[in-house]
């Protein structure tokens, strides 16, 4: 990436900096606090869009140089301008900035060592173009001895990457641990779970068989005695019912004398009432003569008189013909009965009648009829009592069942039921022991199965973790990166840094964290240069090169000069604190002196 010009106004320690980059390398020097680091930060802000000293966009105003209202950063690239204005943070030309994951690390190489191992791994995977297909991961998993069934199961998930596969394996292992805990009641542990076995309670199969035989025998006795009890209870109930029936019949038969005496009395009373009714009817005579019944009786009497007066007449006219008197006389005789009944109740039609007897007559007739019904009831009750007496003589006496016999039979059944319950309780205890033994065996088997499942998934998860297969693949892909670092170190006459599969960084065999400041700077510079070449960004920013001694600085500038001269880099910015503006080491360099945040002083302008 070629930067032709850098223009910065009122950004942090920079007031006005205009860098015309006529050569691939720009050596930017100045005293402490002159604004050199602000230049490097300005370049990163313009390209990355995120400031380093504030976290929120509303705080962008703090990046503007004290006393100024606004600031701006503009980078002239070969393809156009990229810039950002402050305090609003409005960007321009973002589309011209390469979308490379290596860009933050070439603009600030020390970020690589500060990044998390996973982030470094992800970056190198992307830069080296390492692509792993699910089939290749499957092969590597099987080569590690992972469970083939589980590998086949997880293979579709591997299309989403190692992280997705590792997370899935961990989730499956967690679920299997939950199943193991539900089975054993304990927390899973790799050591205690190996060979775990449930306690098997004692169980005697022969004793269970004996108790079941005893139970069957008691059941047979219980059935037999229950049936006998039922039959005895039925006989006892029949005896009690027959006994009650005999008592009822005896009581009814004992009523015969009183019933016959009552019948005799009621018959006498009925005779008296009948005679009283006849006497009252005789005294009552005509009584009151009015109403429809009286008029009909009068008409009927007149008709009979007409018939009596027609003696000797051959017949009478009926429907236009002469009818014989015989048919008429039959009808008249039937009517005579009704007239007689009327006269019996109300007296003769021509009688004068007694009003007092006429008034008493209806009640007396009612009493006579009531007594007649009482006689009918007496005769019915006598017939029932006589029938009860006859049944007592004809029927045989029922077989007597003693209550003690029933209670003895019931007690026997109760005892057998208690015995059955005791045996059944013992059988259930033995069955529970048998079930517990079977369950313990199943639990042991299930625990072993879940333990195997857990360890198999954990093995797959470990294989898919960054230190597993990804590390193997990255180690294979890292060789070109480490070769590049070795080549760059030879250009600088330094020891070569190396990146291992665990993303550890070493220099001369020593871990990065153990290096001095100047040693770390050398490692960062070499890694930054390697990333710039591998990513093809061809851009590198090296700040604070003044931490090196004079020999180290000469080596660093020699490396930069070689990279520029060989055409490996388009733009390299080297910044450091110096006492005076240095001369350009070679034609690849343009030097700039910054003082008080500006490059505008005539006497301090850039020297070629």
- pLDDT on residue 192: 83
DSSP assignment of 73-110: EEEEESS-EEEEEETTTEEE-GGGS---TTHHHHHSTH
Q: Residue 273: helix, strand or coil by DSSP? A: helix
For residue 223, give both structure tokens: 């059935």
Does domain 3-98+537-604 correspond to CATH entry 3.40.50.150? no
Output the CA–CA distances (angstroms, integers) from residue 297 to 285, 329, 338, 348, in the order listed. 14, 17, 8, 10
CA 34 – CA 284 distance, rounded (Å)? 160
Q: Considering only 14-28, 45-59, 450-464, which range has the smallest mean pLDDT?
A: 45-59
- pLDDT on residue 351: 62
pLDDT > 50? residue 394: yes
Nearest to 314 by CA among 300, 303, 301, 326: 326
If residue 231 lies in a helix (H) or strand (E), which one and from where to where? helix 205-253
Nearest to 361 by CA among 294, 292, 285: 285
Calculate mean pLDDT across residues 16-41.
93
Which range has the top average pLDDT, 168-172, 183-187, 577-581?
A: 168-172
Nearest to 474 by CA among 103, 119, 99, 115: 119
CA 309 – CA 302 distance, rounded (Å)? 11
Partners of 302 in beta bridges: none
pLDDT above 70 coverage of the chain, percent? 92
Higher pLDDT, 521 or 163: 521
pLDDT > 70? residue 34: yes
Give CA 464 to chain center in angstroms: 33
CA angle (432, 434, 436) in 5-degree steps:
65
- pLDDT on residue 605: 39
CA 124 – CA 471 distance, rounded (Å)? 11
Residue identified by tokens 């006219």 is: 317
- pLDDT on residue 581: 83
Output the CA–CA distances (angstroms, integers) from residue 214 to 85, 135, 174, 394, 521, in the order listed. 100, 66, 50, 52, 93
Calculate mean pLDDT across residues 310-319.
67
- pLDDT on residue 287: 52
Do residues 210 and 476 make contact, with C-beta atoms less than 8 angstroms apart? no
Residue identified by tokens 């590049």 is: 484
* Domain boundaries along the sequence of the chain: 3-98+537-604
The pTM of this model reads 0.54
pLDDT > 70? residue 103: yes
If residue 593 lies in a helix (H) or strand (E), which one and from where to where? strand 589-594
pLDDT > 50? residue 602: no
Do residues 71 and 63 make contact, with C-beta atoms less than 8 angstroms apart? yes
């Amino acid at each position: 990436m070629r930067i032709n010009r850098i223009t910065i106004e009122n950004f942090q320690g920079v007031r006005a900096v205009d860098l015309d980059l006529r050569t691939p390398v720009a050596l930017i020097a100045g005293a402490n606090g002159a604004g050199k680091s602000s230049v490097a930060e300005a370049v990163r802000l313009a390209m990355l869009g995120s400031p380093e000293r504030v976290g929120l966009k509303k705080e962008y105003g703090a990046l503007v140089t004290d006393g100024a209202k606004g600031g701006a950063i503009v980078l002239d690239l070969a393809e156009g301008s990229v810039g950002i204005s402050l305090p609003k943070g409005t960007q321009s030309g973002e589309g011209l900035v390469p979308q490379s994951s290596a860009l933050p690390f070439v603009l600030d190489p020390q970020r690589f060592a500060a990044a998390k191992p996973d982030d470094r791994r992800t970056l190198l995977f992307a830069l080296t173009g390492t692509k792993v297909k699910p089939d290749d991961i499957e092969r590597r998993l099987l080569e590690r001895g992972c469970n083939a069934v589980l590998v086949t199961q997880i293979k579709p998930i591997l299309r989403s990457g190692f992280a997705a596969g590792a997370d899935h394996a961990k989730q499956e292992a967690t679920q299997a641990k939950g199943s193991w805990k539900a089975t054993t009641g304990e927390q899973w542990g790799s050591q205690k779970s190996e060979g775990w076995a449930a306690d098997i309670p004692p169980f005697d199969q022969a004793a269970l068989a004996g108790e079941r035989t005893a139970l069957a025998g008691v059941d047979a006795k219980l059935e037999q005695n229950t049936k006998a009890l039922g039959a005895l209870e039925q006989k006892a109930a029949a005896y009690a019912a027959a006994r009650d029936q005999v008592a009822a019949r005896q009581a009814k038969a004992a009523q015969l004398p009183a019933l016959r005496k009552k019948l005799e009395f009621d018959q006498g009373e009925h005779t008296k009432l009948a005679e009283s009714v006849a006497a009252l009817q005789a005294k009552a005579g005509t009584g009151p003569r009015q109403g429809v019944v009286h008029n009909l009786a009068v008409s009927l009497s007149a008709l009979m008189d007409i018939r009596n007066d027609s003696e000797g007449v051959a017949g009478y006219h009926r429907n236009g013909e002469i009818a014989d008197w015989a048919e008429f006389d039959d009808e008249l005789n039937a009517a005579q009965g009704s007239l007689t009944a009327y006269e019996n109740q109300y007296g003769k039609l021509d009688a004068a009648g007694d009003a007092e007897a006429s008034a008493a007559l209806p009640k007396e007739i009612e009493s006579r009829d009531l007594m007649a019904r009482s006689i009918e009831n007496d005769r019915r009750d006598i017939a029932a009592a006589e029938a009860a007496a006859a049944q007592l003589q004809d029927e045989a006496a029922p077989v007597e069942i003693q209550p003690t016999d029933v209670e003895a039979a019931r007690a026997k059944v109760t005892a057998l039921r208690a015995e059955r319950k005791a045996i059944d309780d013992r059988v259930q205890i033995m069955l529970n022991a048998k079930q517990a033994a079977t369950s313990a065996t199943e639990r042991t088997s299930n625990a072993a199965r879940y333990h195997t499942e857990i360890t198999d998934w954990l093995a797959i998860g470990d294989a898919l973790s960054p230190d597993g297969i990804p590390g193997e693949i990255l180690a294979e892909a890292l060789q070109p990166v480490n070769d590049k670092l070795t080549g760059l170190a030879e250009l600088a006459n330094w020891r070569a840094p190396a990146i291992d599969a665990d993303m550890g960084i070493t220099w001369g065999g020593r871990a990065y964290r153990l290096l001095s400041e100047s040693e770390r700077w050398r490692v960062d510079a070499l890694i930054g240069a390697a990333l710039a070449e591998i990513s093809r960004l061809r851009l590198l920013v090296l700040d604070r090169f003044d931490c090196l001694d004079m020999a180290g600085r000469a080596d660093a500038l020699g490396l930069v000069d070689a990279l520029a001269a060989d055409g490996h880099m388009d733009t390299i910015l080297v910044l450091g604190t110096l006492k005076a503006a240095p001369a350009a080491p070679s034609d690849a360099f343009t030097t700039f002196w910054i003082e008080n945040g500006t490059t505008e002083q005539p006497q301090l302008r850039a020297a070629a």
